[in-house]
Amino acid sequence: MSTTALRTVSILGTGSYIPEKVITNADLAKIVDTNDEWIVSRTGMKERHQARPDEAASDMGAAAARQAMESAGVTADQIGMIVCASITPDMPFPSTACYVQRLIGAHNAFCLDITAACSGFIYALELAKNAICAGQVDTALIIGTEKLTSVVDWQDRQTCVLFGDAAGAAIVGARGAPHGIRATALGSDGRLAELLMLPGGGSRNPTSPETIEKRLHYMKMSGRDVFKHAVTRMIEACQKAIAKAGLTIDDIALIIPHQANLRIIEAIGHRLGAPAEKYFINIEKYGNISAASIPVALDEAVRSDRIKQGDKIVLVAFGGGFTWGAAVVEWDKN
């Protein structure tokens, strides 16, 4: 382990895993009172994927992690830290990160989960960056993995059409050059916690026949409120992070926003001032995959050559808590 203080930190490799089964808008229209036109016009979503019954968050996370390790040229024994972001962990404990560790054989790592909903990957990136900057570890594996189809209420058309399952991962490591993660801006507001939550099953409302009858084990969302705050906070986070990096929006080659709603992304784009082609969008294929959203999109952007060496990109997310965050990254993989 290095003791070098304040090193620069880069994303060295990315990976993703998308379960095979596809749920189309037409499939959803057979389950709840909805239709393709409503879903596409209100959200931009056409399909989402569903994990197999025997597939948990750690299985998907490990598959994404293996790809990220391969793309970074890093072996399991080199990983010093695994941070797993999820609101659908395998179970309350042990952590999903420990299960991923076991699946990939990264036995030199210390492992933890974080709960920051859709902002989870940005939070994981921040933790990994700080641990590497401080010399605590040299290489970290960060993962966003979600099996949201296991926590949506399939009787509630306002939420069940929005979410899907997937995992994304990145290897983060120390670099000599002053590139990599240039700046971050994170925030939370617990005063608004009730607007987006899964109220049952924890110490506040332990699982009981009553909590199940009240359907408290499913996600609850006040969509319009979340929409409004998401737009405001994601713009604010982008502007702060870009300014901290000493850049302007014109310097940014690509913005990868959390894929919660196409209209949210368009509203951000309109107010940030960058042209539409600078926003990476894949919401039509996956719906909202929460903490997996940013790493899956990042991996797709890298693999489709939307990001080139030296490009300055912005990752930005908003989620339950509320939580939000943005990171400005100068792409430095080679």
Q: Which residues are catalytic?
A: 118, 258, 288
The arrangement of strands across the sheet holding 323-330 comes to 180-188, 323-330, 312-319, 254-257
Judged by CB under 6 A, the number of residues near ligand ACO is 22
Q: Does 157 bind ligand ACO (CB under 6 A)?
A: yes
Q: Give whole-number Cα distances, 67 to 12, 49, 60, 167, in Å.
A: 12, 19, 11, 11
What CA–CA distance (Å, rounded) separates 238 from 257? Answer: 10
Task: Give the end-to-end CA distance of the chain in Å, rounded to a whole number.
Answer: 22
Q: Does 223 bind ligand ACO (CB under 6 A)?
A: yes
Look-up of token digits 């968050």? 57
Q: Which CB, 195 or 314, lies closer to ligand ACO?
A: 195
The minimum distance between CB 162 and ligand ACO, in angstroms, equals 6
Q: Does 227 bind ligand ACO (CB under 6 A)?
A: yes
Q: Is 253 exposed, middle or buried (0-12, 13-18, 19+ CB in 10 A)?
A: middle
The minimum distance between CB 125 and ligand ACO, in angstroms, equals 17
**Binding-site string for ligand ACO from residue 283 to residue 312, where x marks contact by CB under 6 A and - marks none:** -----x-x----------------------
Which region among 53-61, 168-176, 206-214, 258-266 touches ligand ACO (by CB under 6 A)? 258-266
Binding-site member from 89, 269, 287, 319 for ligand ACO (CB under 6 A): 319
What CA–CA distance (Å, rounded) separates 67 from 86? Answer: 19
Q: Which CB, 13 or 164, lies closer to ligand ACO?
A: 164
- Report residue 189 as tokens: 């507001």
Q: Does 57 bind ligand ACO (CB under 6 A)?
A: no
- Report residue 113 as tokens: 């989960």
Q: What is the DSSP letter of 151?
A: T
Q: Does 161 bind ligand ACO (CB under 6 A)?
A: yes
Element (H, E) at 146: strand 139-147
Which region among 67-75, 92-100, 175-183, 225-233 touches ligand ACO (by CB under 6 A)? 225-233
The residues, any chain, with a CB within 8 Å of residue 141's CB and separated by 6 or more, are 65, 68, 69, 79, 81, 82, 83, 100, 104, 106, 109, 169, 170, 171, 172
Residue 249 has phi, psi (to 5 degrees) of -60, -30
Q: Which CB, 2 or 158, lies closer to ligand ACO?
A: 158
Which region among 66-74, 209-217, 257-265, 272-280 touches ligand ACO (by CB under 6 A)? 257-265
Q: Does 46 bind ligand ACO (CB under 6 A)?
A: no
Element (H, E) at 158: helix 157-160
- List beta partners, residue 170: 14, 142
SS3 174: strand
The minimum distance between CB 326 and ligand ACO, in angstroms, equals 15
**Binding-site string for ligand ACO from residue 100 to residue 119, where x marks contact by CB under 6 A and - marks none:** -----------------xx-
Q: Does 261 bind ligand ACO (CB under 6 A)?
A: yes
Q: Judge whether 317 and 86 are in contact, CB under 8 Å.
A: no
Q: Does 320 bind ligand ACO (CB under 6 A)?
A: yes
- List of residues contacting ligand ACO (CB under 6 A): 34, 38, 42-43, 117-118, 157-158, 161, 196, 223-224, 226-227, 230, 260-261, 264, 288, 290, 319-320
